[in-house]
Amino acid sequence: YDAFNKECISAFTLTLVPVISMMNLLPVSMEYRVYDADTMIAEGAIKEGEEIKFNGAPILAEDKKDVMLRIAIRPDGFEEFSVPSESIIPFPMEKAQSVSLKDRDGHVLRLTYKAVCSNLGVTTLQVYCDFWLVNCTGETITVVEKGEDESQQWVLPAVQTAIVPAEKFHFDKTKNMKPIMFSYLHPESRSRAMVLRGEHTTFSEGVTIDAIGSNTRFCMPDKKDPEAKEKKVYGVNVVSGPTMFALTNVVLITPGVFLLNKTGTDLSLRLGTKDSSPITELPAGKTIVYHCPAPVDKIALCVRSETLNSEWTHPLDITKEEEQEMLVLPEDIDAKYLLRMRAGMNAAQR
């Protein structure tokens, strides 16, 4: 203060901050253990989407190799913590690092973490998984990194999902589907891709899930499976994770084709022109998931109305934006019914 002890002529601001801040950006809770060399000095748990601040050990090293601290982690669903010597190093690095864990089924999951230092000196650790898989098909789906063996196949259990018009959809938190974490074992590989298959089918061609976008994949019937009957069509839609989870790509696996009958009369759909071709019934006003009842190169459907006693139309190609055919009624040659089919893409679905 000045000579009169009234005005402050110099001031210093002292800011106290934590040494480490660790964020759990996984879809499950995560336990952690902090080691200083071989001695555990702290432990705890972090719920999904939350963070902890830690002051128990300073980071005094000037180089990564000199850091003695290690943070071992164990997400919910895993029996063992990561090996301390191969766990998180709380030292700022430009490039994202990773930690590998093995679940009770022997699957290897590689979790990623970013370590950055703020202007105040806080080392922030963001722990996340590269991909979340959400199975919206209503049936069991198996996925694996292309080229990996059967031990690394992840099974996404079937969850019944109702088909409702968008205008009637309402969010219900109690019906949320927990995503399944997935990662590539070889993050530096340029040819990495995910393959998937449904029940009684073979694996699809590889689909890249690193970038935001949509793809459609076909799974052919497994010839070795006596219950294999139809070709499956799936949509794979990749979007960014919500808000704070944006470092993760969310992979939505859905049916690839929906059929909606807006004619007011029940319809029969035949795959192809042969009388022996499989037929699918589509009630009036209903929406159904459609898979190919037979393995074909192109999905083209002939349509008839049993109520009107019509003949089969010429094939309608579902990959076209719009097609139309006349319904011919042999018993009423003057009747004119124009049947129009409009097809559009909604994300990875047609």
* Mean pLDDT, all residues of the chain: 86
Nearest to 46 by CA among 78, 21, 18, 70: 21
Can you say whether the dihedral through the CA atoms of 233, 238, 244, 247 is positive or negative? positive
pTM to 2 decimals? Answer: 0.82
pLDDT score for 170: 58
Phi and psi at residue 132, to the nearest 5°: -115, 135
Find all residues with CB under 8 Å of 69, minimum gap 6, and list them: 34, 35, 36, 57, 59, 89, 90
Q: Please report where in the chains the tokens 């000037």 appear, as a residue.
A: 62
pLDDT for 214 equals 84
Span 261-283, pLDDT tens digits: 999 899 999 998 888 888 999 99
**CA–CA separation, 301 vs 317, rounded Å?**
7
More confident position, 52 or 5: 52
Q: Can you give the pLDDT at residue 88? A: 92
pLDDT in tens, 91-127: 888 889 999 998 888 889 999 999 998 887 788 999 9
Residue 72 has pLDDT above 70, yes or no: yes
The model's pLDDT over 288-304, given as tens digits with 9 standing for 90+, comes to 888 888 878 888 999 99
pLDDT in tens, 218-253: 888 888 888 888 888 898 989 999 889 999 999 999
pLDDT tens digits, one per residue of 305-346: 998 899 999 999 888 889 899 888 888 878 888 899 988 766
Q: Tell me, what's the pLDDT at 347?
A: 58
Structure tokens at 152: 């690394």
Residue 10 confidence (pLDDT):
66
Measure CA of the first residue to CA of the last residue in the chain; give whole Å.
75
pLDDT score of 1: 57
User: Is the model's pLDDT at 176 over the cut of 70?
Assistant: no
| Burial class of residue 213, CB neighbours in 10 A (0-12, 13-18, 19+) | middle
